[in-house]
Amino acid sequence: MNAHHVIRTQALVAGYGGATIVDGIDLDIPAGRISVIVGANACGKSTLLKTISRLLPARSGAVLLDGKRIEDIPTKELARTLGLLPQQPISPEGIVVAELVGRGRHPHQKLFRSWTTDDDRAVTEALAATGILDLADRAVDELSGGQRQRVWIAMALAQETDILLLDEPTTFLDVSHQVEVLDLLADLNAARGTTIVMVLHDINMAARYADHLFALRGGRLIASGAPGDIVTADLVREVFDLDSLVITDPVSQTPLVLPRGRHHVAGAG
């Protein structure tokens, strides 16, 4: 496997306008593993990811890549180590899959230098790894949501970064495509050793696919660890204000959160 780059945050504070949304977070992101950031709406999980990926400057504290502050690293150099798949990337009208994936090569290319064999190799590998080689010449506009998400992941792969951040990569997908995308990311993590950090809405998907969970509430980190160690009814109450029963998922042997609402609860009221 490869020499891992290590990313972490130190007393990170970030926000928009007057509001502080991330309020002093220390994350030690395990290298070569899948980490998932979970929390209720507006808990700061997307803002945290944006700050780690330098879309949003830190108010105070730092994001450190191998001990260096990310704002001190030249942008292109950083882009060869740290990739981000935003929540809603935009595909130019009419662009074909292979070309969009090829744009992931941007940080590897110099001004006026033409396309190299290495670029072709990276694009082909990214297409193969995401299972979309046969879609290479299709227009992105014509694809289904699940296929399109594969194309974006392929673009991020063509960037060949050691660390890949994803902001809710399954949000607009139905359950089978959610599983498909998360399986794909788990494959990549296993095959390439890519460090994956993502924000997920669904606590059960998070508990199933994460090696490591970070639970946020009100801009602070309140729990961190393997899902099996930290996901309990108490934690779910603390993070989501939700009464629940946590059992072991018979399929994956990971924690499964069963919410208790006001209705349809056997033996209640």
Partner 1 sequence: MPAPTLISDAQLTGVRDARLRRERRRRIALSVLALVAIVLMGAMLMLGNTIYSPAEVIGVILGQDVPGASFTVGTLRIPRALSALLAGIAFGVAGSTFQTMLRNPLASPDVIGITSGASAAAILSLIVLGWGGGATVTLSLVAGIATAVVIYVAARGGESTGGRLILIGIGVGAMLDAVVAYLLVRADVYDVAVAARWMAGSLNGTRMEQIPPLVIAVVVLVPLVVALGRDLRALELGDASATSLGVRVDRTRVLLVIAAVALACFATATTGPIAFVAFLAGPIAARIVGPGSSVIIPAALTGACLVLAADLLGQFAFDTKFPVGVITGILGAPYLIYLLIRTSRRGGSS
Verify binding: residue 191, partner 1, rule CB under 8 A: yes
Contact stretch for partner 1 (CB under 8 A) within 35-43, 75-83, 221-229, 241-249: 75-83
Binding residues for partner 1 restricted to 203-222, rule: CB under 8 A? none
Q: Which is nearer to partner 1, 195 or 254 (CB)?
A: 195
Binding residues for partner 1 restricted to 33-62, rule: CB under 8 A? 50, 53-55
Q: Which is nearer to partner 1, 185 or 257 (CB)?
A: 185
Verify binding: residue 94, partner 1, rule CB under 8 A: yes
Number of residues that bind partner 1 (CB under 8 A): 61
Verify binding: residue 176, partner 1, rule CB under 8 A: no
DSSP codes, 64-93: EETTEEGGGS-HHHHHTTEEEE-SS--PPT
Contact stretch for partner 1 (CB under 8 A) within 33-41, 96-104, 208-216, 257-265: 96-104
Verify binding: residue 169, partner 1, rule CB under 8 A: no
Verify binding: residue 146, partner 1, rule CB under 8 A: no
Q: Which is nearer to partner 1, 123 or 257 (CB)?
A: 123
Instruction: Identify the residue whose tokens are 């924000």.
Output: 199
Core vs surface per residue 1-17: b (16+ CB within 10 A) or e:
eeebebbbbbebbbbee
Sketch the per residue contact string, 234 through 253, with partner 1: x for CB under 8 A, - otherwise.
Answer: --------------------
48, 127, 182, 185: residue in contact with partner 1 (rule CB under 8 A): 127
Which positions touch partner 1 (CB under 8 A)? 1-2, 50, 53-55, 75-80, 82-86, 88-96, 98-100, 102-104, 106-107, 109, 111-112, 115, 117, 120-121, 123-129, 133, 136-137, 139, 156, 159-162, 191-194
